[in-house]
Amino acid sequence: MKRDNTFTFRINADEREMIKGLAMKLSRSRSDAVRWILHSYADRFDIHAGDVLLEDYRRNQRNINSVYRWSVLQKLKEGGK
């Protein structure tokens, strides 16, 4: 699969060494080791990319609805202007 996106995060020296050690055990790159961890724990917690996108959509819809309700209440407080 082609990977077009870059994601960076801060780690300390110990974490870097752990990623390097895992990569060596897997005979893969450090990036592959991080992806392996990600996929392993996503599977463990039954998290799938499509589910996350759907939950993001639902959360955004709830936020939009909350803002809309708040704005309606504000207008009612102002006398319906």
Q: What is the pLDDT of residues 11-60, one digit of tens each?
A: 999 999 999 999 999 999 999 999 999 888 888 877 777 666 667 667 77
Return the pLDDT at 51.
67
Whether 70 is in a domain gets the answer yes
Retrieve residue 30's tokens: 């450090």
Number of domains present in the structure of the chain: 2
Q: What pLDDT does 70 receive?
A: 73
What pTM did the predictor assign?
A: 0.56
Residue of 1 and 35 predicted with greater confidence: 35
Domain membership flag for residue 3? no
* pLDDT value at residue 52: 65
Residue 28 gets which letter from DSSP?
S
Residue 6 has pLDDT above 70, yes or no: yes
Indicate whether 53 and 43 sit together in one domain.
no
- Domain co-membership, 42 together with 56: no
pLDDT band at 76 (very low <50, low <70, confident <90, very high): confident
1 in any annotated domain:
no
> Is 40 in the same domain as 54?
no
Question: Which stretch of DSSP H or E encloses residue 12?
Answer: none
Structural domain boundaries enclosing 41: 9-47
Residues 22 and 36: beta-carbon distance below 8 Å: yes
